[in-house]
């Protein structure tokens, strides 16, 4: 990261060209509410510096370059624009009036059968803090959800900063390796190991510190497009330990696989461990890891849940969705089946283990 030498860089400004400085300056002052900080020369001005809303702008007669876009964040864009919507300044700059804190919207699920394979040629993209992302739900069900297999190949510190996400739901499940993370109100660094999970409630501040080589986590977030904000003020760890704090009605979860208990699952021949998400989110989601126990006969089911995401953690199985060809699934493969669609799993291995994320938690399953 570039760090300026102290006392070298004193300020920053944006330069916008114009043909008629007087008219342009009047618009920025009278229409947009900027204040005049400097103007020169006095007899025939070519430059005027205005400031407002945390921004410094130099209006310069004859300057070349794009007139650009100036976005003004408002409590009430309609009132701020006087009902005129976006404007074009005399110098050509587009003026946009947008909400400073727009309402949070979770798109409805666009149902479809989704099956992804963990093939050698799967597309991997580099995301925030150098992490590598594999998209597990291409199309993202109309923007409702995103599921990613995130990896960090090399051991050591992660170039992360204190941040938070504006989300409705977010799960981090450790698939391979380990990672250390700091969370607001939750004390010193927490190590997440294979089989463990975090449920990050909306806007909880956190920071990834370091990871093992070959770290892989499964992240499921709602909605698919959400904003990550950097918090430049908060330092982690925070001084107080407040594990029961709620963030938008949800609590932080640090589920340890080593402490989990297994019980009968809703599918015959399987048992599951509850990752404690249902209670912590008041029913927003339910997350379980299920594994084979007992009879391995074919199972035909359907459910009425709007979104159930499945990730094969271990073993193999064959999936047959009504109207579709049978698909062989192995570790790293995923599937999403729309509500009320019959599907069959068969030829599954004794070590089959599946991570299931259901949104919302309350739904019914039919076994045929």
With 50 as the cut, is the pLDDT of residue 1 above it?
Answer: no
Residue 280 CA, distance from chain mean position: 19
What's the mean pLDDT in 174-202? Answer: 97
| Mean predicted lDDT score pLDDT of the chain | 94
Render pLDDT for 45-100 as a digit per residue (tens, 0 to 9). 999 999 999 999 999 999 988 999 999 999 999 999 999 999 999 999 999 999 99
Q: What is the reported pLDDT for 3? A: 56
Predicted TM-score (pTM) of this structure: 0.88
Q: Would you say how long the chain is, in residues?
A: 368
In this structure, which topology does domain 259-367 adopt according to CATH?
A: Jelly Rolls (2.60.120)
With 80 as the cut, is the pLDDT of residue 188 above it?
Answer: yes
Segments making up each domain of the chain, as ranges: 14-99, 114-255, 259-367
For residue 10, what are its two tokens? Answer: 């004193």
Render pLDDT for 249-289 as a digit per residue (tens, 0 to 9). 999 999 999 999 999 999 999 999 999 999 999 999 999 99
Peptide bond into 352 cis (omega under 30): no
Render pLDDT for 199-245 as a digit per residue (tens, 0 to 9). 999 999 999 999 999 999 999 999 999 999 999 999 999 999 998 99
For residue 92, what are its two tokens? Answer: 């050509």
| C-beta of residue 357 within 8 angstroms of C-beta of residue 288 | no
Decide if 114-255 and 259-367 have a common fold: yes
CA torsion 276-281-283-286 (nearest 10°) is -40
pLDDT band at 124 (very low <50, low <70, confident <90, very high): confident
Render pLDDT for 137-146 as a digit per residue (tens, 0 to 9). 999 999 999 9
In this structure, which topology does domain 114-255 adopt according to CATH?
A: Jelly Rolls (2.60.120)
| CATH superfamily placement of domain 14-99 | 2,3-Dihydroxybiphenyl 1,2-Dioxygenase, domain 1 (3.10.180.10)
């Amino acid at each position: 990261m570039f760090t300026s030498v102290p006392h070298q860089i004193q300020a920053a400004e944006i330069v916008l060209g114009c043909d008629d400085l007087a008219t342009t300056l009047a618009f920025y002052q009278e229409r947009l509410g900027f204040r005049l900080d400097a103007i020169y020369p006095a007899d025939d001005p070519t430059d005027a510096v205005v400031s407002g809303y945390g921004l410094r702008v130099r209006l310069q007669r004859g300057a070349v370059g794009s007139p650009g876009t100036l976005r003004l964040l408002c409590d009430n864009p309609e009132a701020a624009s006087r009902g005129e919507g976006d404007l074009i300044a005399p110098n050509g700059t587009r003026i946009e009036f947008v909400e400073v804190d727009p309402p949070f919207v979770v798109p409805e699920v666009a149902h479809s059968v989704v099956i992804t394979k963990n093939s050698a040629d799967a597309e991997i993209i580099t995301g925030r803090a150098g992490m590598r992302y594999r998209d597990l739900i291409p199309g993202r069900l109309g923007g409702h959800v995103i599921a990613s297999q995130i990896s960090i190949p090399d051991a050591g510190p992660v170039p992360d900063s204190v941040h938070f996400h504006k989300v409705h739901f977010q799960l981090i499940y450790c698939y391979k390796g380990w990672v250390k993370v700091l969370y607001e109100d939750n004390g010193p660094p927490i190590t997440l190991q294979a089989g463990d999970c975090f449920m990050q409630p909306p806007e909880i501040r956190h920071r990834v510190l370091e990871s093992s080589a070959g770290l892989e986590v499964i992240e499921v977030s709602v909605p698919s497009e959400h904003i990550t904000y950097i918090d430049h003020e908060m330092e982690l760890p925070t001084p107080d330990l407040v594990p029961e704090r709620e963030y938008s009605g949800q609590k932080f979860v640090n589920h340890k696989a080593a402490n989990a208990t297994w019980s009968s699952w809703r599918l015959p021949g399987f048992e599951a461990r509850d990752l404690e998400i249902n209670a912590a989110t008041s029913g927003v989601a339910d997350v379980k890891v299920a594994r084979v126990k007992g009879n391995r006969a074919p199972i035909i089911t359907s459910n009425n849940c709007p979104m159930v995401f499945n990730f094969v953690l271990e073993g193999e199985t064959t999936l047959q969705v009504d109207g579709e060809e049978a698909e062989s699934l192995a570790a790293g493969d995923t599937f999403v089946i729309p509500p009320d669609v019959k599907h069959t799993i068969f030829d599954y291995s004794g070590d089959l283990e599946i991570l299931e994320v259901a949104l919302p938690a309350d739904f019914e399953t039919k076994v045929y």
